Structure 1
Amino acid sequence: MSQAASWSSKIGFVLSAAGSAIGLGAIWKFPYTAGTNGGAVFFLLFLLFTVLVALPVQLAEFYIGRTSGQNAVDAFKSLAPKSQWPWVGRMGVAACFVLLSFYSVVGGWVINYTVHAFSGEIHAGADFGALFGATIASPAGSLFYQFLFMLMTIWVVKGGVSDGIEKANRYLMPALFVLFLMLAVRSLTLPGAMQGVEFLLKPDWQFFEPQTMLTALGQAFFALSIGVSTMITYAAYLRKDQDLFRSGNSIMWMNLLVSLLAGLVIFPAVFAFGFEPGQGPGLIFIVLPAVFMKIPFGTVLFAVFMVLVLFATLTSAFSMLETVIAALIRHDESKRSRATWGIGLAIFAVGIPSALSFGALADLKIFGKTVFDLWDYIISALIMPIGALSIAIFTGWVQNKQQVLANISEGSTVPRAVISLWLNALRYLAPIAIILVFANTLGWI
């Protein structure tokens, strides 16, 4: 394997995998989902399910990737030759292609809002609901910024694993944590901020109900970027001396820390100025600008926040595009640049109807959903749970148990008892939890 196709350091892998996981799930989706599900109870359940269910599946993806050393499709061919299991990898690759086609639309909104923030369009007294509506409805603006987002993603991924993805994440991830800490400190020093901290950290048990549990479980899967083979792809570039358990734990806790910081930036400020926490998906685009405008230097701080959201959005996009490229070039790095440009532009083209779903194509409904919402539903509600369930069954039941334990233990100082506990959680707990989320999403329970 060429140097361009392997991580140059252990921390490079951890930061890149954490970047894949820490995207809009932690910064955009977690705060509004927590806000509409009671805050602290949701956060505690999310923490519990991340550790007990999502982490075992993530480690299973690491096992498949590192053991095979192959892309998402060839990994299954290598570990289960002459079987139907490679279709799980193909599904993951196709899911990453489609996911990035509409994820890049939201990435475009983030860039657009970053421009708004620096150009002075975000100011005290502005109608942020109208601004967001105009931003997502503009065909030219939506397509231009979506294209710009894809160009950024292509530019990094075409550089390869160590020279492109790893190098970008080495700067983006530490910057993300530093900026988040600065914003959290500012938010926590606002008058009345402690009410927001209580909302996030002091459980109100009246919200402890089945729907909150299922939503928290779904968020745990979404947050660790599992079920679409991105972690299989990243782990394929690992050496055998990498401690998968410690790496997985680091990635998980970094993700949980960013989710917590996002809550500590948003909820104290929201409560300090009398806004409602349960504002839904528009929270960072409509409510947060209004909140920041009430803070000294709020325009600058909001611009910093949007840059931070852009960092997180890009690091996730890198992993999605790399999953598709790795399956296409199959370790032939001479094909990388051309393949990345070709696939990246194809993803942009497929994403055009999603970008126009809030303007020119707003009236186009398929099964009652816009193109954007339909793709989102197919990936989030169907493909991700099926992918995660397949990976849990493949690693926990199809693969030889002793082989799995031996391979996952390589390079690890974690006690064998803990590794056995992981395998049991993967075999029993994860499939039951995934089936429950799947059934709930489809409205069966």
Structure 2
Amino acid sequence: MTVQPGSSPADAYEIRRFRAAPATAPDFGVTEQWIRAVNYGFYEKAIGEEYLAKIAQAYLDDDRELTGAYETLASGSPAFGHERPVATFGTLRKTLNVGHGQLVQAHLVTAVTVRTDHRRRGLLRRLMGEDLARAKADGVAIAALTASEASIYRRFGFGVATRERRITVTTGPQFRLAVPTSGRVIAAEPSAMLDLAPKIFARAHRATPGSVDRQERYRLRAAGQWDHETGGTDAALRVAVHLDDDGTADGYAAYSFRGWDHEPATVSIRDLVAATPEAYLGLWDYLGSLDLIRSVEWDEAPVEDPLAWALVDPRAIRLGVDTDMLWLRILDVEAALGARHLAHDGELVLRVEDPLGFTTGTYRLAVSAGRSHIERLADDDTTPGDLALDIAELSSVYVGGVSPVTLAEAGRIRAGRSGGSARLVTDASLTLARMFAVERPAHCSTHF
């Protein structure tokens, strides 16, 4: 039987879930074909055997689960055999900072592809629905992803929780901080970052709402041992490390020079991690003083960036377009809200809709003297709701990356009862914003 475009017989695909095998294992071919399918789906160049082995080992170190959809019926395709999955879906578990230093387990979704000749057959909905149901059954309260396409994931209940921005900073004579820096910055051998980068990131992770703990490849990249194009060593990488006044490393910048044929002479930041504001400004002071360099580019700067306020001339920063970064999806409202500190006393009743049905219901949030209580009301409870919202919106405001007031003004948060006035929605949204306030702007620097 040949599967026709648009058809979706129940037995056309087999879903297989497995852990990566090392390159030395007899069944490595299954892992290899899964990686090649992901590579194909994201239009990456074909990769060699050594790079494949390196990716597989990193998957093992991250304890990723790999899921593939495989054809069970003849496809008539001359290019790919049945050993190549037509859809891929990867997951791993890391911690998410939900504000005030509190870390919760998050279910990270990654490597989502559906081959073009197998789209519109319900494969993504099946993979996503089954996977999120399994995560919730495991007791994980929140899922997360970073999206290559922004139009896909809201229908599964994901909402944008943090954003990032590309910036270009003019250095040389125009670059000068208006405030003194503390500590000092030293040039370091990239290999030192194998041990140092995870320690610095752990401090930054605990200090930053919206931060997600990192996978193995970040450590290798910071050490110059993972070039994105080849998987080999990164000969262009340079590393600067910030030391506080006691000599403790609390920040680093990994960067590379774009070459003398690029005008103006430019450095690109590969990764910048700072556990303290002092480390952040100190690293920028160092980057801004690099000899012969007249521009520094960074694709992953925070939208609320203190650098702009620390410069004598803030026009030294040229802002690019900001884009969505971290998407969150609450799987269990009571567990997710109960896991974080609610910062403002008050009481609200929220009516939540969920396209997958995991969290649909009415919830009472009550906070008094710093103690919170979250309760799902019975389905026949007639308590009037203060606000109505989809689970995507509740997920968006969860780590403080966007204000509920902004979402209310956008029409995404609505009155929870018939006849509710715009003024009541604004007041209730402001109360929710105060409850969900975090200690500093939310930012995620971990792509996955």
Interval containing the TM-score (normalised by the shorter chain):
under 0.3
Q: Which has the higher strand share?
A: 2
Higher RCO (C-alpha 8 Å, min separation 6): 1
TM-score, normalization by structure 2: 0.24
Which of the pair has more CA radius of gyration? 2
